[in-house]
A and B are shown apart, each in its own frame.
Chain A
């Protein structure tokens, strides 16, 4: 059912659930998983580019996810890329298109979203912009 799956992670509390959903779906359909982490960076006048996390932190999260999936027998690839704050959703959707994945899997609320939100801004945008199924995990 899914030859390819795209999983977007961002250190949020639901990442474990997101990965377990990806693992289950990929195992059942013998699919291949791309774990994508976008480092959102803010451009500030004078201060320049502000990173919210180090490259190592981002890479460590993706590596851990890839390792977890690989241990479960799922072929997984990790991708860490920089983007500008607010552009993550667009890039997730573009990656999903270029990889031609069967489903996008992501958490309902990311690290950057307000605690009271029931659906984070990135998930919200991805659902609106995507041209393929989106699984929102909470």
Chain B
């Protein structure tokens, strides 16, 4: 799961699911990486819904391969923050499994984990998404939660 290390060995993991909040987290991670000379692993997690073909599962994706959809989402997210003048290496990484667990595994030996405050799954009224909350509770490294626009 963990990517290659930047020259100074520092690595920042950003949790991305394509939501505006997660993109703010990725932008923040890239700015922080620029400051500290780190590299960024932009990590997306996917897992097949419990009832594929029932309800939103098939409807949303049209039966597409979930892994491919995740890979497309993360590639677009990384492209959106790419800056030709920027020296920061941003690696798109796709992991299968529970989002919080994938992020915890990816950040196990990272220097920093950056997450948004609410992803796609959160209720509009939720103050903090369940993945962000789980990460702040269980990550081994410092965690930044991006509230507001980051």
Contact = CB atoms under 8 A, between A and B. Distances in A.
Contacts of B26: none
B137 A118 contact: yes
B32 A134 contact: no
B148 A135 contact: no
Interface in B90-147: 127-128, 132-133, 136-147
Main secondary structure of the interface of B (DSSP, over half): mixed
**Contact-size category for A:** 20 to 34
Contacts, number: 55
Nearest to B117: A127
Contact of B128 (A21, A128, A132): A128
Interface string A106-138: 001000000000110001100111111111111
Nearest to A119: B137
A118 B138 contact: yes
Contacts of B36: 24, 28
Given A136-B143, A137-B142, A138-B142, A127 B136 contact: yes
B32 A136 contact: no
B147 A131 contact: yes
B31 A1 contact: yes
Contact of B144 (A24, A124, A131, A135): A135
26 contacts: A1-B35, A21-B142, A24-B36, A25-B35, A28-B36, A29-B35, A108-B136, A118-B137, A118-B138, A119-B136, A123-B136, A127-B136, A130-B145, A130-B147, A131-B147, A132-B148, A133-B28, A133-B145, A133-B150, A134-B144, A134-B147, A135-B144, A136-B136, A137-B142, A138-B139, A138-B141
Interface of A: 1, 21, 24-25, 28-29, 103, 108, 118-119, 123-124, 127-138
Interface of B: 28, 31-32, 35-36, 127-128, 132-133, 136-148, 150
